[in-house]
Amino acid sequence: MTVRRFHQVDVFAAEATKGNPLAVVHDAQGLDDTQMAAFARWTNLSETTFLLPPTEAGADYRVRIFTPGGELPFAGHPTLGSAWAWLQAGGTPREAGVVVQQCGIGLVRLRQAGGRLAFA
């Protein structure tokens, strides 16, 4: 069995249990759709994301977003929470102050302002 790290984060809150919960699985290469969906059901959260190497030029990483019922091309709090978790795990953006996430709708630019992330 492969061991993978994951964060469970509270998006939109500075205090635990006060925000929107999100599970973020790091280094998700090798997981197929069925495994991602099963893990998302297991977390029983509204969304679970999986971080992967980008496949589009200009992206810092790629994310896939799953609910217990299926995959989403994009969602707000999973985008922000995934970027935060990616940075916390040592991710380094190609452009200072900007994180570029690849997801089902294409490239999404996020700006870093201090310790916060916002849609650019």
> 82: helix, coil or strand?
helix
Q: Which of 47, 56, 71, 95 is catalytic?
A: 47
Q: Partners of 21 in the beta sheet?
A: 10
47 an active-site residue? yes
3-state helix, strand, coil in the chain (%, to 5): 20, 40, 40
Listed residue (11, 18, 23) closest to 51, CA to CA: 23
**Active site amino acids:** 47
